[in-house]
Amino acid sequence: MWSDHVASSDVKDRIVLAFAAAVGLVMGSVMVLYFNPPPPPRPSQVQEVEVFPAEIVLTTERAESLRMQGWTSAGFRGYWLADTRGSLELPARAVSTQDVALVIRSMIKLKGAYPDPPNPVGTIKVLVNSVEVGSWPLWADARYPERRFVVPRGILKEDSSNTLQFIREDNGVQTPWRLSFGLSSLKIENGADRKGFNSNLDTCKGSSINGWAVSEGSPIPVDVYIDGVRQSIIQTPVYRPDLKTAGLPPEAGFSIQLTDPPSAGTEVKVAYAGHPDRYIGGSPCRF
């Protein structure tokens, strides 16, 4: 009996000691963790470049060819490009008789979960169908003027969508920065670059049409068509300081009076005089 009692007591002592050891181990681990907390997670190598609402202006010879696909100045919104590169789909080209002018108006700003570099450097490269068409420098909190890139016609595909890409690069090395790109609109203009045919309609109201048109750096006359019939008009030059600021001839503005005012809702097309297939940007318009 005594031996059994001693054995039983010995087992109980062992259990108590084991329990105490376990508690001590747990408490010790807690104390170690308390006094030696694990190092904070390493900063993510992925920063974010935020491109605030911008415009992409896609120039084509026949503006309505893209409008038919729903790519209107008010109807398109695209968002975000992930990691070092991403893409936005542009609609297929309807014609391939001239180059395309890609215009980006935006503001670049760096942001991330960790402090941004005090003096970030590098460039944002613009690619169309994986072919670089231009780039611009990257600086924190800096506003950028309009960026215009001419996309050779041979790069664009007519039978499928065209891909627009952005890549951040430092000293020839692509870094894993994420690029967020917000599009406020996709506009359509005529002409491949500022040296070629470029134009825009501002208003169509009452019996007047206002806008501007340039070809080879000089103001040009325009024609107005209703139902395919060229109309009798009076075109008056208008001096436009805003065009001068944009590097265009300020006297390229125009105001057109129709001698036979159209009825409300009439669709009017405005084109380079003598070139009915070269529409003014923003054409057609409705009264």
Distance in angstroms (rounded) separating the CA atoms of residues 182 and 71: 15
Question: Is the model's pLDDT at 263 over the cut of 70?
Answer: yes
Per-residue pLDDT, averaged over 46-57, amounts to 38
The pLDDT value recorded for residue 213 is 86
pLDDT of residue 49: 39
- pLDDT band (50, 70, 90) for residue 271: confident
Distance, in Å, from the CA atom of 47 to the CA atom of 37, rounded to the nearest integer, reads 26
200-238 residue pLDDT tens: 888 887 778 888 888 777 788 888 888 778 888 888 888
Spatial separation of the C-alpha atoms in residues 251 and 253, rounded to whole Å? 5
Q: Decide if pLDDT at 90 tops 60.
A: no
Instruction: Give the integer Cα–Cα distance in Å for 165 and 182.
Output: 13
Say what the pTM is: 0.36
Beta strands in the chain (DSSP E): 48-59, 87-90, 100-105, 107-111, 123-128, 131-137, 142-143, 147-151, 162-170, 173-174, 178-189, 198-205, 208-215, 218-219, 222-226, 229-230, 233-238, 253-258, 267-272, 285-286
Place of tokens 């001693």: 6
Closest CA to 190 of 182, 201, 181: 201
- The confidence score (pLDDT) of residue 106 equals 45
Q: What mean pLDDT comes out for the span 162-177?
A: 62
Structure tokens at 155: 């790069």
Radius of gyration of the chain (CA): 32
Other beta carbons within 10 Å of 252: 23
pLDDT tens for residues 103-146?
554 434 433 333 344 445 667 677 777 778 777 665 543 444 45
> Which residues partner with 187 through β-bridges?
57
pLDDT in tens, 4-43: 444 555 555 565 555 555 555 545 544 443 444 444 434 3
Query: Residue 36: which region, alpha, beta or left (left: phi > 0; alpha: psi -120 to 50)?
Result: beta
Greater pLDDT, 204 or 51: 204
Q: What are the tokens at 144?
A: 């950028």
Q: Looking at residue 19, what DSSP letter applies?
A: H
DSSP-derived 3-state class of residue 23:
helix
Confidence of residue 93 (pLDDT cuts 50, 70, 90): very low
What's the CA gap between 16 and 31, in Å, rounded? 22
60-83 pLDDT, tens digit per residue, is: 333 322 222 222 222 223 322 222
Checking if the pLDDT of 198 tops 70, the result is yes
Question: Mean pLDDT throughout 161-174?
Answer: 65
Cα–Cα distance between 210 and 253 in angstroms, integer? Answer: 8
Give the model's pLDDT for residue 79: 28
pLDDT at residue 152 in the model: 67
Q: Give the pLDDT confidence score for residue 256 in this predicted structure.
A: 87
**Looking at residue 281, what is its pLDDT?**
73
> Sorting pLDDT into bands at 50, 70 and 90, what band is 157?
low
pLDDT in tens, 170-194: 666 665 444 444 333 333 333 333 3
Please give the backbone phi and psi of residue 29, each rounded to the nearest 5 degrees, phi first. -65, -40
